[in-house]
Amino acid sequence: MKKIILLIFASSLLINSCAIFKSTKKDPLLGKFNITLFDTPMGDIPLVLEVNKTDGEYSALINGEGQLDGVFEVDATTVSENNLSIDAAAGGMEFTLEMQINEDQITGSVMDLDIKGERIVE
CB of 115 within 8 A of CB of 36?
yes
Residue 77: name the closest of 110, 99, 46 by CA. 99
Q: Residue 79 forms beta bridges with which residues?
A: 84
- Which CATH architecture describes the domain 31-119? Beta Barrel (2.40)
Full-model pTM: 0.75
Q: What is the pLDDT of residues 78-116, one digit of tens each?
A: 998 889 999 999 888 899 999 999 989 999 999 999 999
Mean pLDDT throughout 40-61? Answer: 92
* CA 98 and chain centroid, separation: 13
- Rounded-to-10 torsion of CA 59, 71, 91, 116: -60
Query: Where do the domains of the chain lie?
Result: 31-119
